[in-house]
Structure 1
Amino acid sequence: MAPKPKEIVVRALHTTQGDGLDVYAFFISGGDITRLADISRIERDATDDLKGFQRPEIRSHVKGIVDYLNQGSVLFPNAIILAMSPEVRFVAARGSKPTGDAGISQAGTLTVPIFEAGERVAWIVDGQQRSLALAQAKNISIPVPVIGFVSDSIEVQREQFILVNKAKPLSSRLINELLPETSGIHLPRDLSARRVPTELCNLLNRDSNSPFHKLIKRMTDRSASPAVITDTAVVAMIRNSLSNPLGALAAYKARPNEAADAESMYRVLLIFWSAVRDVFTDAWGRDPRHSRLMHSAGIVAMGVLMDRIYAKLSGVGEDYKTIRKELETIAPHCAWTKGQWDLLGIAWNEIQNTPKDIKRLQDALVRTYATQVKR
């Protein structure tokens, strides 16, 4: 008979939130957090499916917390947030309720089984750096507050991870990669609005028919990835078009009683950027150091030109051949890989990823296009 797994038993308060999710509040020794909970690192498997949600460990941050904890008697009231599987067990305490108790929570005993790493019944949603530090501190018995909600749904865990870290310096690239993997039902309005651009960005990178196929850098990229374009640049390009009333994608965004038409948005992006790739073949797919078209400034600025071209062609023709013909009119005046931008008076590689340079580049592209149209 297999030995009974170890377990941690603590006094806890129980309540429910959301759609009947069990939530517990309790204290445990700091060194026990990494014994009962795994850290679900964000990565992609062999089939490119997203796994986990936590960013990589920041060693300098962990060391700083360890140094603080090792000072002696320290105050550490910051709660760790855990997602817990239904395998945890709660037994309510017997006895009458105290006079005046509002009945919001119920006291009792929570039992959490302890298993090997990778098979644990809890996952750290917020506080991974603190948890790692607590396990390394000289005093691993310092009592630490924990809030745990019961859900083994990775989607719910990712949603809570984004919400908890929204007000913290969480990488926008990490949020961009996580958002398409959440339902968005309970996300704040600003985060929900970000789902469409990030979904389109992910699809552009995955679709073998996309000119961006495997060219977009993501947080989970392996070192051997051929990606050269940052996901933030592509997301910014899409978001700019959606926010511009005359943008190429704006006509398809969500309305009060109508969902966003992501399929039409994607079709526009495929047509335009396929034409860009085919007109500027010598600049496409190269490292940004050798091609400013692949630079964040180039992607965002060309997105503005996309809006201008589609505004001009609205109701006339927006097929690949027409878009390519429009782009060919400005091609001789572009200096993506060599030469000089005549309207800017600077060399091709002097353009940087700054608001000033992006504005100057997009203005130069639009003015050049307007001039060629008049001719």
Structure 2
Amino acid sequence: MPSIIVNAMKVEQPIGEFFFGKMKAKDLLEISYADVRRLEKEERDVEKYLGIQRPLKKNRVKDINSYINTVDATFPNSIILSIDEENVFWNDGELSIEYSDESKGNIAKILDGQHRLAGFDSNNITFIDYEGIEKDFEVLITIFVNTDMALQAKVFSMVNQNQTKVNKSLVFDLESLATSRSPWKTCHSIAAYLNDKKNTPFYHRIKRLGVKAYEHEIEPLTQAAFVDNLVKLITPNAQVDRNIILGKDKGFLGFSSKTLPHMDTDSLNKFVFRKAFSDDEDETILKVVLSFFSAVESVWPDAWRKDQTSSILNKTVGLISMFRLLNFILSSLLIDKKLDLKYQINKEDFAELLKSTNVSGGYFLTLDATSKTSVSVFNHLKEKVKFK
């Protein structure tokens, strides 16, 4: 009979006894399953709800899968499981999970952590350490034995109800502590600079941690919105870029010869700040962003005023449309060879292009702040801008 040996400890809490230990991700994948909440009909068409888990979110699994492939991936919190007592044997600090070949995929019910576990596949259940040695990716596990559905539901509810989602602006702000470069760190630094320096269009305009920082100031934009949309002008995958740079900085074998992807001409024209980022020229990105939004402020001053609450330029949808317009302008100039990757373009150049649209500031005061608005504003300006 197959078995998995787990180095574990027994824990006693008011809810009862459970075990805490570690297991190879590949072993847990083989024996675990998620009991998704569902409605089933029994005899005589009696309906009954079964299961406790939420359905998997494919995009979240995809993001976790990408994260697991990074050089510093970690899951320091445990995956919580429920296993029947007939499959668990405890002997002085060693826990053995035994099962038959026929039942191995139906042994450990996941009470919490199904998305983390679903992020693993045959390509990332092992990893290469900095010395080039392949090792099994291990995960922490908490095992409840022989728990009924009521207790399983209580554990699931307790863990998930008490979790507070981390503010994305705070996550980006913490990038400043990273020792290696990344698209997120670059864009955070630019956001912080523009927000802190007087005489910039974004002075005290960005909520650095997603909350108001200055008692008597109006901060209509979040740091997360600024960073997210500037990153899109640098890379199609910030995680991949960060992983390559971090791997090279830490001297991981296999990374010394790696270079950033998407450095072909088409990509450099599409992600207009990619070359500057690749060349470690964050100041160049800052100067162009500052020049463009200074032009926006000068061409549409009333709509840009941060106390102009009816203007979509003071909202995320307006910020998105302006970043898209900046990318379109730079991309068009690069493709037409009217600009090279040294980005010799200033505020006056941008202002001339914005004025060529013949769009007045009042236009931005008449729109509703919906997700569709950012697309319609961008398309409207894109069609009207005239290049010499």
Normalized against structure 2, the TM-score is what? 0.45
Normalized against structure 1, the TM-score is what? 0.47
